Amino acid sequence: MTHRRDLTITDVRLTPVLISDPPLLNTQGVHQPFTPRLIIEVTTETGITGVGETYGDARYLEPARQLADALPGCEVSDLNNLVPLAGLVCAPPQETSDAVDAGGLRGVQTADKVLLSVVSGFEVACLDALGKALGLPVHALLGGKVRDTVDYSAYLFYRWAEHPDGQGLKDDWGAALDPEGVVAQARRFVREYGFTSFKLKGGVFPPDEEIAAVRALAAAFPGMPLRLDPNGAWSVETSLRVADELGDVLEYLEDPASTTARMAEVAAGTDLPLATNMCVTTFEEIPEAFAQEAVQVVLSDHHYWGGLRNTRELAALCRTFGVGVSMHSNTHLGISLAAMTHVAATVPNLHHACDSHYPWQTEDVITRRHEFRGGRLAVSDAPGLGVELDRTALEALHRRWLDDDGGLRDRDDAKAMRRAEPGWVSPSVPRW
Ligand code: GKR
Ligand code: MG
C-alpha cells in the first residue's frame, strides 16, 4: 500500500486538564470544583492535526501514554488497529470493580472498558485528522448524516449555589433544591438555549420530592418530553411506584433500579420505557439485558463504548432488537460535544434528544463554543470535527491540573460531598 505522508502519524500529544464544574448533586454526592479530562492531539507527517477528548482520571492516563507512544508510524485511517494495538501495548489497568462506578455513574469499570474509554479519544482524534486530510466532515467518514441538526436535552440538576469553603469558580445559577428551583433552572435553559426536553438528575432526595419536581416541570412545560434518572437508587417497589405516578409525563425512566435483574423486574411491571447507562454499558451486557427485556432504551456514549464507530454498531444492535437509542453524557468539553454531534447525526434510530453537561461548563479548549439554538446543534460540514484548539485555554486548564495537589485527579463525588458532610459515604443502593 502506498505510504500516505498526510495520514502517517508522527507525533501524539496528551494534555490532562482540570475543568471547572459547578456543585451538581447526584446519588453518590456532588461534583468536585474541577473535573479531569484528557485532550489528545495526533499530528501527521504533513502537519495535519486531529483532536480527541476522553476521561482524564488517573487510571486512563498511563494506558493513554502507552498507546500514544505506539502510534507514530501508524496511519490515522487505520482505525481498526487501535483496539488491538491498545491490547498489545497498554498494561491492563487494574480492574476497579464491577459494581457501580463511583467516578461518573456509568456502570461497570472493567479493564476492557477502561481501554475502550482511552481508545475512543484516539479514534476521534484520528477521525478529525483523516477528515482534514480528505476534506470531509467526520459524519461523512461514518457514512453520512441523516439529519442536519441534533437535538439535546436540558440536563437539570439539583445543585448548591456554590461549592463549600469557596472552592472552585462561582456562577450565577444559584441553588436548585426543590421543585421551584428546578423549574427556575429549566426556564433559564429554555431562555438561553431553547431546549424542548428535560432530564432531571434524581436519586438526590426522597422519591416523593423528585416526583413533585417532575410534576412541576410537567406543569410548567406541558407536553415536553421529561426524563428522570436516579442512577439506580430505588428499589423495584419504589421504581414501580414512581413509574406509576409519573407514567403520564415521562418519555422514559432512566436507571430507576440498579442491576439488569432489578431493571427487568421493573420493566415487567410498567409500560413506561426504561433507559440505562448503567446496566448496559458494554457489548457483553447486551444479550442478557435484551433477552430479559430489562431496558427499552440504551444510552450510547462513544467515550466508554470505544468510539464513534462502535456507537453506530451499538445503534444497529438496538435497531435489530427493537430497543431505542439515546445518548449519555458525563462532564465534557467541546471536542467531545463535536464528536457526539457528528455520530448522532448519522444514527437513523436515535429518536431521543441527547444528554449533554456542556451548558454547565463555562470553560472550553476550542476557539468557538458550541451554540445551542432551539435546543439543537447544527451538524458541522467542515473537514474533520469542525473545531479548533485554543492553545491558551488548553495551557491554562493544564496548568490547573499541574498545580493540583492530586486531590482532584480522579472524579470522586463522595469525597466532594464530605467537604459539606464530613461523614458522608456514597449510599448503598437501593437507597429508597
Ligand atoms: O454528572 O452527576 C452527573 C451524572 O450523574 C453523570 O455522572 C452522568 O450523567 O452517568 C451519569 C448518568 O447520566 O447516569
Ligand atoms: Mg444516567
Task: Specify the CATH number for the domain of residue 295.
Answer: 3.20.20.120
Q: Is residue 3 part of a domain?
A: no
Which residue's CA is minimally distant from atom 7 of ligand 1? 104
328 part of the active site: yes
Shared-domain flag, residues 131 and 146: no
pLDDT score for 94: 65
Tell me which residue has its CA closest to atom 8 in ligand 1. Answer: 330
* CATH (domain of 397): 3.30.390.10
Contact, 136 vs 92, CB < 8 A? no
> What pLDDT is attached to residue 45?
98
Question: Longest Cα pair distance anywhere in the chain, in angstroms?
Answer: 65
Query: Cell numbers at residue 151, please?
Result: 437535538
What is the residue type of 57?
D
The answer to whether residues 235 and 324 belong to one domain is yes
In this structure, the answer to whether residues 214 and 70 fall within a common structural domain is no
Q: Which residues line ligand 1 (CB under 6 A)?
A: 24, 26, 104-106, 201, 229, 231, 277, 328-331
- Whether 432 is covered by a domain: the verdict is no
Per-residue pLDDT of the chain (432 residues; tens, 9 = 90+): 677 999 999 999 999 999 999 999 999 999 999 999 999 999 999 999 999 999 999 999 999 999 999 999 999 999 999 999 999 999 876 655 544 455 779 998 889 999 999 999 999 999 999 999 999 999 999 999 999 999 999 999 999 999 999 999 999 999 999 999 999 999 999 999 999 999 999 999 999 999 999 999 999 999 999 999 999 999 999 999 999 999 999 999 999 999 999 999 999 999 999 999 999 999 999 999 999 999 999 999 999 999 999 999 999 999 999 999 999 999 999 999 999 999 999 999 999 999 999 999 999 999 999 999 999 999 999 999 999 999 999 999 999 999 998 889 999 999 999 999 999 999 999 999
Residues 166 and 314 placed together within one structural domain of the fold: yes
Task: Indicate the top mutation candidate among 24, 31, 231, 263 to test ligand 1's pocket, ranked by most ligand atoms within 8 A of CB.
Answer: 231
Note whether residue 414 is domain-resident: no
- What residue owns the CA closest to ligand 1's atom 1? 330
Residues with CB under 5 A from ligand 2 (ion): 229, 254, 277
d(CA 224, CA 423): 39
Ligand closest to 255 (CA) is 2
- In terms of domains, do 61 and 87 share one? yes
Cα gap 338→357, rounded to integer Å:
13
Atom of ligand 1 nearest to the CA of 155: 9
The sign one gets for the Cα dihedral 132, 134, 140, 141 is negative
Q: What are phi and psi of 20, to 5 degrees?
A: -60, 140
Q: Going along 285-396, which residue ranges are E strands?
A: 297-300, 324-327, 376-378
Kindly state the cell numbers that stand for 104: 461518573
413 found inside a domain: no
- Mutate which of 329, 337, 352 for ligand 1 pocket (most atoms within 8 A of beta carbon): 329
User: What b-and-e string marks burial along 11-28, b requiring 16 or more CB atoms within 10 Å of the CB?
Assistant: ebebbbbbbbbbbbbbbb
- Smallest-distance ligand from the CA of 106: 1
Same domain, 132 and 152: no
Containing 37, the helix (H) or strand (E) segment is: strand 34-44
153 and 69 in a common domain: no
Atom of ligand 1 lying closest to residue 106 CA: 10
**Structural domains of the chain, count:** 2
426 found inside a domain:
no
Residues 38, 332: contact at Cβ < 8 Å? no
Instruction: Establish if 178 belongs to a structural domain.
Output: yes
352 is annotated as an active-site residue = no
Contacts 24+ apart (CB under 8 A), 172-175: 173/22
Which amino acid is located at 123 in the chain? E
State in Å: Cα 129 to ligand 2 middle: 31
Residue pair 267/274 in contact (Cβ under 8 Å)? The answer is yes
The reply to whether 131 and 144 lie within a common domain is no
Residue 97 amino acid letter: S
Pair 41, 181 in one domain: no
Nearest-angstrom CA–CA distance, 157 and 186:
10
The pLDDT assigned to 98 comes to: 45
First to last CA, the chain: 60
Residue 154, H or E segment: strand 154-157
How would you class 169 by CB atoms within 10 Å of its CB: exposed for 0-12, middle for 13-18, buried for 19 or more? middle
**Does 218 share its domain with 337?**
yes
C-alpha–C-alpha distance, residues 225 and 246, integer Å? 12
Active-site hit among 145, 199, 328, 370? 328
Q: Is 248 part of a structural domain of the chain?
A: yes
What is the C-alpha to C-alpha distance for residues 347 and 22, in angstroms, rounded to an integer? 31
Task: Domain of residue 312: give its range.
Answer: 140-378
For residue 363, give the 3-state DSSP assignment.
coil
Same-domain check for residues 320 and 201:
yes
User: Would you say residue 383 lies in a domain?
Assistant: no
Do residues 199 and 302 share a domain? yes
